[in-house]
Chain A
Amino acid sequence: MKRLFSDEFIQAANYLRIVARQVPSGGRHAEQRSRDLGSGLEFRDFRAYVPGDDLRRVDWNIYRRSGRLFLRLFEEPEDLPIYLLVDVSDSMFFETPPRAEQACRLAGLLALIGLGQWDRVTVYAVGAELGPAFRPSAGPRGRHAVLEYLESLQPAGQTNLPAVLRRFSRLPLRRGLAVLISDFFDPHGPAAVTEALRRVPHQLLLVQVVRDDDEDPALAGELTLVDCESNAEVEIAATPAVLERYRAAYRAFCAHLLQFAASRRAAHLRLSATRPFLSQVAALFPDRTFVA
């Protein structure tokens, strides 16, 4: 793919944040508030001293008043695992400009934000299978690497989201934020996709990459439609009645995804492949913060 990330884009990532409502324990020190108690700066609670505790943490004021030893407990800010599943199946590269460009831009933005917050970012390129994990390191080197990686992604065959999601669900990963960026045009249908998404143990952000002609295709006459991935053929007569039925099917498809997101309390974003990227993601970051 061509160069996707401009300087403006990279600059914008510095001002955006991803904040998790809940951070799973066991993470490394980062900037997300967690339940774990550690050596953070935020006071959390007291507990009685037991032999072996660090005496530097004893609250001497309480001892002076009560004659008993208590330790001061502080929050341990930890990282949020962010799993970016970028659909790079053939359908994402079919049109011009390809939907994969916007998908990779969003993945890059979220990756830059996460890496800036010292969150653990993992990128999976999905297509027919779940691709290998790409884990960039935090810091400038990692930011550059993830952008390079996203720009280097190539078409990865037919879409098979249910299988990919099932495999992803079985991975022993710390719970975090799973972002699925796809057109969701799976030959198994949206129901199979959402069924597989139910098994994903992470917080979900569903990003549907769309185009204007998805709902209103410019087709007419007797046609043989050929799927760009599977080469499956469907013969139609593009009469106004058939076109209306197609539009109804597309609206039902989108409504199904929305209903699933609402039921799962997952975030949902429709990202247009043709409109400017930064203006669209503003809706995802009210007050420059996305709350996962």
Chain B
Amino acid sequence: MVFTGLTGWVVAGLVGLCAALLAALHLLRIRPRRVRVVTTWLWSQAARQTRARTLWRRFRHPWTYALLLLISALLVAALGRPEFRQTRAAGAATVIVLDAGMSMAAPAGQASSWTQAVTVGVAEARRCGADAPVALVVADPWPRVLHGFHEPPLLLARRLREVRPTDSWPARRPAIQLARSLLSPWQRADGRRPETQPSMFGEPQPDRRIIVVTDHPQPELWGLSDLVAAPGDTDDGIDVRFVPVGPAADNAALLAAFLEPLPEDLYRGRLRVRVGYWGETSRAGTLRVHRSVEIAGQPLLAESRTFQPGAAVDFVVPEVPADGGQLLIDLAIEDAVAGDNQAVVRLPQRTPIRVRIATETPPALVTLLASDPALRLGEEDEPDVEVRTGLTDSPAPALVAVLGGGPTIAAGTAVQIHAMPASLGDMRFATPACGAGEALPLRRDGSWEGPAGSRSAAATRLDEQTVYLATGDYAVAARVRLDGRPCLLLSPALLGADAAVWRDPAFAALILGSVRVLAGWPDAGCGVSAQRLILDPLWPQRAELTGAVTAVPGTREESELRRTSASGGAVDVAGAAGWWWLAPFEWLLLGALVLLSLEAVLHVRGRIP
């Protein structure tokens, strides 16, 4: 047994320190409970007999001391992370190459081949010992060094557990080359060239070695026959050993599913299903995609392909709505593992804002609202927002809207918008009464700041309507709750014969942003490029909306790919390492816990003081 967490000397030193501390505590006279008795003469007789028998012992309670010392020794040994090694190559440098190809994601019992490979990799690293240098190379399409020789050994296990198999074929040959290159300059601590070292079992052991953990342990697949010589034949002397994991059989598996949104519709997308196949020969298979509730009906996709060994094939369902529904994906292929041929995918969900508009709504306004793909117009029974034109609080003013900076886009009785507002607060409307050049800021709450010398006034509340947009004393738009839902009331001033305002991107952004805010969407402002037309629905915020609308999984786990088990329940694909197998240090901890419990029981029963 060797210690991988601490050196043997440190473990022995800690045990000795515990022994000394326990002895000191044991010899210290702990003040016991004082009890008055009628006489101590008889007790002195009984104690005298005890002392006469144990006169040679320094400790009053040697069994207690021994028990506590044993518990301490077990705990210290557990800290040292012991491992039982069959062989020990003194100073051997080891590179563990982990196959991270897509075939490693195949299930192997309750877990997957990859999970087994990680467990094996961790065990091999521990077996090398705390003093031996160990490196880790991941063999995926881009082999890389995951853990170097000079990095702390304790990080290796953690990094192993963070890696995932890819959905592509591994570059095995480059991975071996990389591992070999790591070992080439390796020298012993005394500076001598690496040579074979005799082991404690009498057989010469190589000083450098590569351990390949894979589900394809055939050396020719790894191109090894011409890369590595047998130990001792050349001065390389690198030993290569294969550790097979997982099933070595033909298998096709559903690897991942993606929803790619359509450029023209945020709420629809292409479903891409990736299937991986590994085996000796090509096979034909059929992929079907059903809606879970319509399994017996027409499938969304039923496509047959021929799978080549080591290839990943994408199946595409042209158009599916992002309505949160479930799809059942079934891969019909004759392979050795049928458990990974079915999966359930949940589509992301994005609900547009349902807007109800009045019949007297100007067509230009209707066009504006309809141009926003986030809105869905119609005679909704349960709209999210209602847009009306019934804001009647004042005669239609001659408004001139002046924005902070910029030229006047339009003039006249209609609202003039000069430039793109960064936010609603930046919009300024000027009344003719103020004169040209003066401006009254547009406030969402209706208050206003006049020119120098003017006094501010509180927001104008009109029949319990909250003024949403106002300038001066005139409300431009107001928000009110009707039947429990928000309603946007627009001023008649905006409904003049001049409908150009509705096609102005800035104002369109203002109104559409108001609708979104009323619907509870984040108020991120509606900055629209002046060059964009309102007919162009591709708002700059579209990127954010896109990210929020679609869930584009990049990995197997994020696709919510769930495998249906034979019992009908969903089984997590990733699986977990076997928790029933305990490491040696865990056995030591368990032993210490058992002894502690025993000591507690004996103490309670008065068997030991």
Residues of A within 8 A of B (CB): 91, 94-95, 183, 185-187, 189, 214, 217, 219-230, 232-242, 245-246, 248-250, 253
Contact = CB atoms under 8 A, between A and B. Distances in A.
B306 interface: no
B85 interface: no
A145 B50 CA distance: 50
Contacts of B37: 217, 225-228
23 contacts: A94-B38, A185-B38, A185-B39, A186-B41, A187-B41, A214-B38, A217-B37, A221-B609, A222-B30, A223-B32, A223-B35, A224-B31, A227-B36, A227-B40, A228-B36, A228-B37, A233-B40, A234-B44, A237-B61, A242-B50, A245-B45, A246-B43, A246-B45
Contacts of B35: 219, 223-226
Contact of B33 (A223, A245, A250): A223
B191 interface: no
A109 B50 CA distance: 43
B482 interface: no
Interface in B25-57: 30-47, 49-50
Given A229-B39, A239-B608, 19 more contacts: A219-B35, A220-B606, A221-B32, A221-B606, A224-B33, A224-B35, A227-B40, A228-B39, A230-B40, A234-B43, A234-B47, A235-B32, A239-B606, A242-B50, A246-B43, A248-B46, A249-B42, A249-B45, A250-B42
B542 interface: no
A192 B30 CA distance: 35
Most chain B beta-carbon neighbours within 10 Å: one of A214, A225, A235, A250: A225
B158 interface: no
A222 B34 CA distance: 9
Contacts of B608: 239
Interface of B: 30-47, 49-50, 60-61, 606-609
B34 to A, nearest CB: 5
Given A228-B38, A246-B42, A222 B606 contact: no
Nearest to B29: A235
Nearest to A91: B38
B50 A232 contact: no
B32 A189 contact: no
Contacts of A226: 34-37, 40
Contacts of B61: 237
Nearest to A185: B39
Given A220-B606, A221-B33, A222-B609, A227 B46 contact: no
A249 B608 CA distance: 22
Q: Is the interface of A mostly helix, strand, loop or mixed?
A: mixed
Nearest to A90: B38
Contacts of A221: 32-33, 606, 609
Contacts of A232: 40
A201 B319 CA distance: 126
A196 to B, nearest CB: 16
Contacts of B49: 245
The 4 closest A-B pairs by CB, nearest first: A222-B32, A185-B39, A245-B46, A249-B45
Given A234-B44, A249-B46, A224 B38 contact: no
A253 B34 CA distance: 25
Contacts of B609: 221-222, 237, 239
B38 A236 contact: no
A209 to B, nearest CB: 11
A236 B44 CA distance: 9
Contact of A189 (B31, B41, B60): B41
A242 B43 CA distance: 9
A91 to B, nearest CB: 5
A253 B39 CA distance: 13
A219 B46 CA distance: 14
A95 to B, nearest CB: 7
Most chain A beta-carbon neighbours within 10 Å: one of B30, B43, B45, B608: B43
A245 B50 contact: yes
Given A234-B47, A240-B606, A253 B38 contact: no
B43 A236 contact: yes
Nearest to B49: A245
B34 A223 contact: yes
Contacts of A253: 42
Contacts of A222: 30, 32-33, 609
Contacts of A239: 606-609
A240 B50 CA distance: 12
Nearest to A249: B45
A227 B40 CA distance: 5
A242 B46 contact: yes
Nearest to A232: B40
A257 B348 CA distance: 97
B27 to A, nearest CB: 14
A186 B45 CA distance: 13
A250 B45 CA distance: 9
B333 to A, nearest CB: 73
A233 B34 CA distance: 9
Nearest to A184: B39
Contacts of B41: 185-187, 189, 227
A290 to B, nearest CB: 28
Contacts of B60: 237
B46 A225 contact: no
B464 to A, nearest CB: 79
A236 B39 CA distance: 14
Most chain A beta-carbon neighbours within 10 Å: one of B33, B41, B609: B41
Most chain A beta-carbon neighbours within 10 Å: one of B47, B49, B50: B47
A250 B50 CA distance: 16
Contact of A234 (B33, B40, B606): B40
A26 to B, nearest CB: 40
B268 to A, nearest CB: 78
Contacts of A229: 39
A231 B578 CA distance: 64
Contacts of B30: 222
A187 B42 CA distance: 9
A33 B533 CA distance: 146
Given A223-B33, A235-B32, A239-B606, A95 B38 contact: yes
B49 to A, nearest CB: 5
